[in-house]
Homo-oligomer: A and B are copies of this chain.
Amino acid sequence: MVQERNKGAEKRERILQSAIKVFARKGFYNTRVSEIARTAGVADGTIYLYFKNKDDILISLFNDRIGKLNDEMERQLAALDSPSEKVKRIVSIQLGLLRGHKDLAEVITINLRQSNRFLKQYAAPGFNRYLDIIAAVIQEGQQSGDFRQDVSPRVAACSLFGALDGLSLTWVLGTRDADRLARAGQQVSHIFIEGLRAPETTGT
């Protein structure tokens, strides 16, 4: 019974893993269900015991993984104090995805944007939570006096996310040199931390 449930979960996971791998290489619409099945070592029909349809694979994939990423992000940020350190950590986690989970990062960076409707309907909640986590860090920095107040935390969050996404995109399309990516991360952290820093209240 319990073992069966485990086995079921394990198979579902194997299908998701395979989907990530194939989507990353071919893109969602150029991937056939039969190829995911083959990669996962199951029959075509088996996919439909675990997912409602092909769309559901992408949606489950995203929700599952972005949820874990958000949890991990919150956990790590909670252990840090300074807003600047937190910004650095956000940068390293988002770019770190490309190291540790290259295929997943590619799917999120490239293939997730399929259509307006898809994004709005399915990806928005997880994406918004991600942005909220970043925005909370910015706001915290503003309250502590580290960051300037005349920037909307939400705008800063979208920008930071976007900047990292842009770097990921060009990295995926280009050299894929890990060191280079790490250096880029430091520079982006720098730009944002300096760009957000509250002006020194000299005199008056």
Contacts of A172 in B (CB 8 A): 116
Known A-B contacts: A24-B116, A111-B113, A159-B188. Give 17 more (CB < 8 A). A26-B115, A27-B116, A29-B29, A110-B115, A111-B114, A113-B169, A151-B187, A159-B167, A162-B163, A162-B165, A162-B166, A162-B167, A165-B166, A166-B166, A191-B195, A192-B195, A195-B196
B27 touches A114 (CB 8 A): yes
A155 at the A/B interface (Cβ < 8 Å)?
Answer: yes
For this chain, the copies found in one complex come to 2
Residues 183-204 of chain A: 1 if any B CB is under 8 Å from the residue's CB, otherwise 0?
A: 1100110111111110000000
**Interface extent on A, as a size class?**
35 or more
**A106 in the interface, Cβ–Cβ < 8 Å?**
yes
* A159 nearest CB neighbor, chain B only: B163
- B-contact bits for A38-82, CB 8 A (1 contact / 0 none): 000000000000000000000000000000000000000000000
